[in-house]
Amino acid sequence: MGDVDGRAGRVMTIKQDASGRRSMELRFDVPGTPEQVWKAIATSQGISSWLFPTDVEEREGGAIAFHIAPGMESAGTVTTFDPPRRFGYEEPDWSPNAPPLATEFIIVGDAFSRLSHALALDNAAAGEVRRAPADTPPLGGIVEHTEHSVDAREIMLRLDTPAPGVLLLGAHKWGGKAHASMSFFLYGAAVPSIVERDQPRWDEWLQQQVPASHE
């Protein structure tokens, strides 16, 4: 089950596995650098500014405590601490007679996030077959490689559409800024006609997705 608000860039997905365990994924765009977002969601001062007064030991295995009201708090343990990308924690006793509640934040640069989502490549894993939506030129193939590090993100797609080849979608830090790139390597006698047909559409699509990164 999912809910999408394209105008606000928000996506919510709710899942339940065979054992009955439930999970909810929220994805949305926010302004600011990954470092600014990290301070807002992974530090005592940041969380306290928008949720409840909170104490965080900023390390994996550290304690976290949400002071919801006088005499009411939820305590837990930091399970993931990888600034400025991943922050997670688990609250074992957040509600009586309920299983532990695990929360994880994953921060990605806005440009890469927008491009990968628009191409139906978000959360891609090696071996998966992915096809771009109908509002792009024809594009599809098998995910060969993904990289998700603090300084770089990359997806390599082995293409079968529009021709045999490779798509590299990436983002990296350079010159104090985040840069996104999208590179095609196509093979075969039909490539010149494919480029002539599709390049104007890709140029327009990229301008709509990330105007500042495409000149």
Quote the CA–CA distance of 2 and 24 in Å, as a whole number. 9
Q: Is 186 within a domain? A: yes
The predicted model scores a pTM of 0.53
Total domains present in the chain: 2
> Is residue 65 located within the same domain as residue 150?
no
Residues 71 and 123 in one domain: no
Domain boundary among the residues 80, 106, 132 is at 106
Q: Are 165 and 186 in contact (CB under 8 A)?
A: yes
99: pLDDT strictly greater than 60:
yes
CATH number at residue 41: 3.30.530.20
Q: Is residue 20 part of a domain?
A: no
In a domain? residue 25: no
Q: Is residue 160 part of a domain?
A: yes
Are 129 and 181 in the same domain? yes
Verify that 102 and 115 share a domain, yes or no. no
Give the CB-side neighbour count of residue 55, counting CA atoms within 13 A: 8
Q: Which domain range does residue 93 map to?
A: 31-106
- Cα 56 to the chain's mean position, in Å? 24
In a domain, 19, yes or no: no
Structure tokens at 38: 């990290």
Statement to judge: residues 98 and 122 lie in one domain: no
State residue 14's pLDDT score: 82
75 in the same domain as 36: yes
Q: What is the pLDDT at residue 178?
A: 67
- pLDDT > 90 fraction of the chain, expressed in percent and rounded: 54
Instruction: Mark which of 61, 78, 106 sits at the end of a domain.
Output: 106
Mean pLDDT of 28-41: 81
pLDDT band, very low/low/confident/very high, at 11 (cuts 50, 70, 90): low
DSSP letter (8 states) at residue 40: H
Beta bridge partners of 22: 16
In the predicted model, what is the mean pLDDT of the chain? 86
In a domain, 17, yes or no: no
Section 82-108 average pLDDT: 90
